[in-house]
């Protein structure tokens, strides 16, 4: 199949902004270029459209209002307002990206539009990513694939994680062999485990950056714990950590996925700023370590991506608990910040080609499934 140029858009549970990435793929292979020392060149240009404090507040309010949702079509409270904003913000992000890189809409074959997750309850067959794919396609003049989780959820799968098929394609293009793990730490953390025979299992490991970010916002008015420096000055509350890790989620076998609302930063409310940050950071790291209980083959190497890859204290704790080589995605030529956006570009092309995007070993769905809803301009 011919290579296609695809843009991926990702607005994650950290609620910080829109990540944009352009890649070339045929839905199976990913086009990569290797420089000296076999180091991967960037897959393509990337961009970012940050959210203002007021925009973040709107999305947080919408996420809270979504807790009352009973049916996938429900849009209570501020959800309609938030959906219109998400669509507009993504359109602005793409328009700015195309202008900055001297690209025309006609040069882009498809956009993979994740939308903004406001609720994820696969056991109730509900997972809502707000954003209007048809409105986006009409405004931009580019075909848009959105609602990529719905088919899997309706078929009884978890609807997450979706990125493992891209992780595997990128690993193959990079020449990596298992056993190794790819850990993406966004608002929620998820792991893709690839064994020495190329077999893949994937699942959410637990909270990622969301609790840490919310803690820092509440305590110091900051969006994150820069480099993990606040956590590094504190001491984790071992009793609270032990209690958090008794949550039933950690005892469920994969595939499994997490609703970001299942845990709150307020659980550390009685601690100092430093100790609370240390406790929540340790919680993320130890939850990842618990993932090894489900690994058919213990990874000898982990590639860490997402915002968590920039948290030095979190990476230090992962190194301690996982007892394996820890490498950030950036260090091998991948993109820590834009890996998920690249994945949604890849998934959009797979959807166009009718190729599966979810699998029994990644979401628990009965059969390999394609997914996504195509909107044409």
pLDDT tens string 156-179:
999 989 999 999 999 888 888 879
Count other C-beta atoms under 10 Å from residue 314's C-beta. 29
Count other C-beta atoms under 10 Å from residue 332's C-beta. 13
Question: CA 267, 272, 278, 281 torsion: positive or negative?
Answer: positive
Q: Which of 282, 277, 286 is nearest to 225 (CA)?
A: 277
Q: Which of 188-192, 205-209, 294-298, 357-361 has the lowest mean pLDDT?
A: 294-298
Collapsing DSSP to helix, strand or coil, 245 comes out as coil
Q: Which of 82, 91, 101 is nearest to 134 (CA)?
A: 91
Helix segments in the chain, DSSP class H? 53-65, 79-100, 133-140, 150-154, 164-174, 210-220, 229-232, 238-244, 273-290, 312-322, 339-352, 360-363
> Which pLDDT does position 178 carry in this prediction?
79
Collapsing DSSP to helix, strand or coil, 88 comes out as helix
Superfamily of domain 173-332: ATPase, nucleotide binding domain (3.30.420.40)
CATH fold of 4-161+346-358+369-375: Nucleotidyltransferase; domain 5 (3.30.420)
* Residue where the block lists tokens 């190329």: 198
Alpha-carbon torsion, ordered 236, 190, 62, 267, to 10 deg: -20
- How far CA 107 is from CA of 4, 8, 42, 143, 147, in Å, comes to 10, 14, 19, 12, 23
Question: Do 4-161+346-358+369-375 and 173-332 fold alike per CATH?
Answer: yes
Q: pLDDT for 11-47, tens place per residue?
A: 987 788 999 999 999 999 998 887 766 667 788 999 9
CA atoms within 13 A on the CB side of 94: 31
Mean pLDDT confidence for 307-326: 95
Asked if 270 and 264 touch (Cβ cutoff 8 Å), the reply is: no
Asked if 236 and 242 touch (Cβ cutoff 8 Å), the reply is: no
What is the rounded distance in angstroms from the CA atom of residue 189 to the CA atom of residue 322? 15
Asked if 349 and 31 touch (Cβ cutoff 8 Å), the reply is: no
Mean pLDDT confidence for 188-205: 93
% of the chain residues with pLDDT over 90: 83
Q: Which residues of 265-280 are buried (b: 16+ CB within 10 A; e: fewer)?
A: bebbeebebbbbbbbb
> Which pLDDT does position 262 carry in this prediction?
84
Q: pLDDT for 329-348, tens place per residue?
A: 998 889 999 999 999 999 99
What's the mean pLDDT when you consider all of the chain?
Answer: 93
pLDDT band at 294 (very low <50, low <70, confident <90, very high): confident
pLDDT surpasses 70 at 324: yes
| Angle at which helices 53-65 and 79-100 cross, to 10° | 140
Q: Which residues of 166-200 are buried (b: 16+ CB within 10 A; e: fewer)?
A: bbbbbbbbbeeebbbbbbbbbbbbbbbbbbeeeeb
Domain coordinates in residue numbering, the chain? 4-161+346-358+369-375, 173-332
- Per the DSSP assignment, residues forming a β-bridge with 200 are 194
Q: pLDDT for 238-250, tens place per residue?
A: 999 999 999 999 9
Q: How many residues does the chain have?
A: 377
Tokens of 370: 């394609």
What is the rounded distance in angstroms from the CA atom of residue 211 to the CA atom of residue 209? 6
> Which pLDDT does position 38 carry in this prediction?
63
pLDDT surpasses 90 at 269: no
Q: pLDDT for 94-145, tens place per residue?
A: 999 999 999 999 999 999 999 999 999 998 999 999 999 999 999 999 999 9
| Angle at which helices 164-174 and 339-352 cross, to 10° | 100
């Amino acid at each position: 199949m011919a290579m296609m140029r695809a843009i991926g858009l990702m607005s994650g549970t950290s609620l910080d902004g829109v990540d944009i990435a352009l890649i070339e793929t045929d839905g199976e292979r990913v086009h990569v270029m290797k420089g000296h020392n076999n180091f991967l060149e960037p897959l393509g240009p990337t961009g970012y459209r940050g959210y203002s404090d007021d925009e973040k507040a709107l999305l947080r309010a919408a996420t809270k209002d979504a807790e009352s949702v009973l049916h996938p079509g429900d849009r209570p409270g501020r959800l309609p307002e938030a959906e219109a904003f998400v669509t507009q913000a993504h359109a602005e992000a793409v328009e700015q990206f195309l202008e900055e890189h001297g690209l025309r809409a006609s040069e882009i074959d498809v956009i993979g539009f994740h939308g903004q997750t406001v609720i994820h309850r696969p056991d109730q067959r509900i997972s809502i990513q707000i954003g209007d794919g048809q409105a986006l396609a009409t405004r931009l003049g580019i075909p848009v694939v959105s609602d990529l989780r719905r088919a899997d959820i309706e078929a009884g799968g978890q609807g997450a994680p979706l990125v493992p098929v891209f992780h595997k394609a990128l690993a193959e293009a990079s020449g990596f062999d298992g056993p190794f793990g790819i850990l993406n730490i966004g608002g929620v953390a998820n792991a893709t485990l690839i064994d020495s025979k190329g077999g893949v299992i994937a699942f959410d490991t637990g909270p990622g950056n969301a609790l840490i970010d919310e803690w820092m916002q509440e305590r110091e008015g900051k969006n994150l714990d820069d480099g993990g420096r606040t956590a590094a000055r504190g001491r984790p509350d071992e009793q609270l950590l032990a209690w958090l890790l008794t949550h039933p989620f950690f005892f469920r076998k994969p595939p499994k996925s997490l609703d970001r609302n299942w845990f709150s930063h307020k659980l550390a409310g009685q601690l100092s700023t430093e100790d609370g940050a240390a406790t929540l950071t340790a919680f993320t790291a130890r939850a990842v370590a618990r993932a090894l209980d489900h690994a058919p083959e213990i990874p000898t190497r982990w590639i860490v991506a997402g915002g968590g890859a920039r948290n030095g204290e979190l990476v230090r704790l992962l190194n301690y608990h996982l007892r394996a080589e820890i490498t950030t995605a950036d260090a091998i030529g991948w993109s820590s910040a834009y890996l998920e956006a690249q994945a949604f570009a890849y998934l959009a092309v797979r959807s166009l080609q009718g190729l599966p995007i979810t699998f029994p070993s990644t979401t628990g769905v009965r059969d390999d499934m394609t997914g996504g809803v195509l909107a044409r301009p």
